[in-house]
Amino acid sequence: MSDPALNIINFSKNYGSRVAVDRVSLRVKEGELFGLIGPDGAGKTSLIRAICTLLKPTGGQILVNGLDVARDIFAIRSILGYMPQRFSLYPDLTVEQNLKFFADVFKVPEAEREKRLAQLYKFSRLAPFKDRQAAALSGGMKQKLALSCALIHTPEILVLDEPTFGVDPVSREEFWEILAEIRREGTTIFVSTAYMDEADRCDRVALMHLGKIIASGTPVQVKAQYRFPLFRVTGKQLRQLREFFDRQPAVHNTQLFGEAVHVSFTEAPAPGDWQRWVRASGENLQKWSPQQPTMEDVFMENIGGESQ
Amino acid sequence: MTNQVSVQTEMLTRRFGKFVAVDRVSIRVGKGEIFGFLGANGAGKTTLIRMLCGLLLPSDGQGTVAGFDIYRESEQIKRNIGYMSQRFSLYEDLTVEENIEFYGGIYGLNDEAIRKKKTQIFAELKLTLRAKTLTRDLPLGFKQRLALGCAMLHDPSIIFLDEPTSGVDPRVRRAFWDVIHRTADHGTTVFVTTHFMEEAEYCHRVCIMDTGKVIALDTPENLRQRFQQPTMQKVFVELVKSRIGKRI
């Protein structure tokens, strides 16, 4: 069997006494689109920077196509494309000048350049803007340019750190479509995000919290880990309705949304229970229907008592 | 929620030269309502919010905020609203308590009023145990609550939140929105601008903007049903994509 594209073995990173990443192990297969999902401060950036040879592990090992990030730094950099979290392009260069600059840095042979640029323009749709200064691009276009620069040397593995942070929903959608396209061409992609709803775009995901991986698998597998029957209930007075369910013994958890309450139960309620609750709530309870758990529900469940 | 009107606009318009940033927007938001604004960058959300906050004069149309006219009474409007930005404007080198005292001073509250407000906000937002903590040492969830507390010191009838929980851990987000719902129950109107479906789901109604116009305004549930999409993100993308051909 060939090496996985990315093999993270018991990796830890400490900053002084603070543990940013705590014994994380993950394997990413060649050609996979893998999502690392977690809130600010989970340790995602430390892990990503270590994969990109920019941080030395405190413990454990990271292998990129079998190469060790602690030793084979330059070999890894030639096969890996990295898009950092913050915009790292030259704002006063044009789109095309930025691309050519990165082509120089990564020593893309002169003969291949035109072809590569044409390919990158094709998927990014940035050709009409090639003479525009990077500073004058919209947020979504900047992200696409940064992505194009990370892909200039046709890397085998693409690593992106929160590429959709602060990007509007339409550009976000387009960005994920481009990632899917790059993946179809055989590139392995490792992408981090704080937005749980982006998990479904990935082949497999790992949820990260306080330096640890708390769940991993395909999005379907991870969501299936949520073991409490979940319902969406509505009624006349939502806050009172939530308080009502908070008092019921079979209730595991409740959450108030704008126009409904989500209630999870330790065991699925019987039809008779609902009728009883309609009466006991003074007919406040009006409608109920099963609700698919989201990645966020799984995350909440797995972080247990470690909240702020 | 009550039937009292908190914010009302009629054909509100703002032009910058020939560019129409906000195009004949008419909305009516009730007291105690949590009202979400969704829109791509450049859709006109910020310009609209700036007009509602009394920071920018409209080019055309009418509007009242908390009963005050947006042309003539912008000073009264500013005294009646609170604003919390995504990047909180807290003083990191001050303690939690000192930030409250500082903002209380800015809003012109006297010592007695500040003391009362402090006790009340600490209890409501569960900050009492952190009163003497330096703001820079606070976990993100506490910073958010403190920023919210500072934005509400002067008892505004309307608060504006700009992507208040983007990127935080879901538990922190849920706790924050519990506080917002409680605040709205007490009659404060809440305006939220956001890119994210996770936040839109906590709103009573959402307003989707594109090229300066309101292109949809309804409850999240009704919007999902009308466009037959499972999530607000998909509703939004569908709506905006279907309009791209109509743009100039």
Q: Do A257 and B201 touch (CB under 8 A)?
A: yes
Helices (H), A161-268: 169-184, 219-224, 238-246
Any A CB within 8 A of B140 CB: yes
Has residue A107 got a pLDDT over 70?
A: yes
**pLDDT single digits (tens) A248-260:** 999 999 999 999 9
Structure tokens at A27: 């394997």
Q: Which residues contact A137 (CB under 8 A, 6 or more apart)?
A: A95, A129, A145
Chain B hits for A40, CB-CB cut-off 8 Å, are 140, 167-169
Any A CB within 8 A of B167 CB: yes
What percentage of chain B reaches a pLDDT higher than 90? 61
Structure tokens at A271: 């039809």
Q: Determine if residue B181 is left, alpha or beta; phi over 0 gives left, psi from -120 to 50 gives alpha, anything else beta.
A: alpha
Any A CB within 8 A of B171 CB: yes
Has residue B248 got a pLDDT over 50?
A: no
Q: Do B170 and A300 touch (CB under 8 A)?
A: yes
Chain B hits for A166, CB-CB cut-off 8 Å, are 166, 195
Nearest to A190 by CA among A39, A26, A71, A77: A26
Minimal Cα–Cα distance from A40 to chain B, Å? 6
Q: Chain B 51-70, CB below 8 Å of chain A: which residues?
A: none
pLDDT tier, A1 (very low <50, low <70, confident <90, very high otherwise) = low
What percentage of chain A reaches a pLDDT higher than 70? 98
b/e map A105-133, b = 16+ CB within 10 Å: ebebeeeeeeebbeebbebbebeebeeee
Chain A hits for B142, CB-CB cut-off 8 Å, are 308
- Which of B37, B38, B41 is the mutation pick for testing A, counting most A CBs within 10 A? B41
ipTM above 0.85, yes or no: no
**Residues from A in contact with B at Cβ < 8 Å:** 39-42, 138-140, 165-173, 194-197, 209, 239, 255-260, 296, 299-300, 303, 307-308
Instruction: Tokens 């309307």: give the residue.
Output: B158
**pLDDT single digits (tens) B107-148:** 889 999 999 999 988 888 888 889 999 999 888 788 888 999
- The whole-angstrom separation of Cα B80 and Cα A211 is 42
Minimal Cα–Cα distance from A92 to chain B, Å? 22
Name the residue with higher pLDDT: B163 or A157: A157
Question: Which run of H or E residues covers position A45?
Answer: helix A44-51
Has residue A242 got a pLDDT over 50?
A: yes
Structure tokens at A169: 């929903």
Any A CB within 8 A of B195 CB: yes
- The whole-angstrom separation of Cα B40 and Cα B50 is 17
Q: What is the mean pLDDT of chain B?
A: 89
Has residue A197 got a pLDDT over 90?
A: no
Q: E-strand spans in B66-129?
A: 68-69, 81-84
Name the residue with higher pLDDT: A28 or A302: A28
**What is the torsional sign of CA A197, A203, A204, A208?**
negative
Q: Do B167 and A259 touch (CB under 8 A)?
A: no
Q: Do B236 and A239 touch (CB under 8 A)?
A: no
Q: What is the mean pLDDT of chain A?
A: 93
Instruction: Tokens 């009474």: give the residue.
Output: B73
Minimal Cα–Cα distance from A106 to chain B, Å? 33
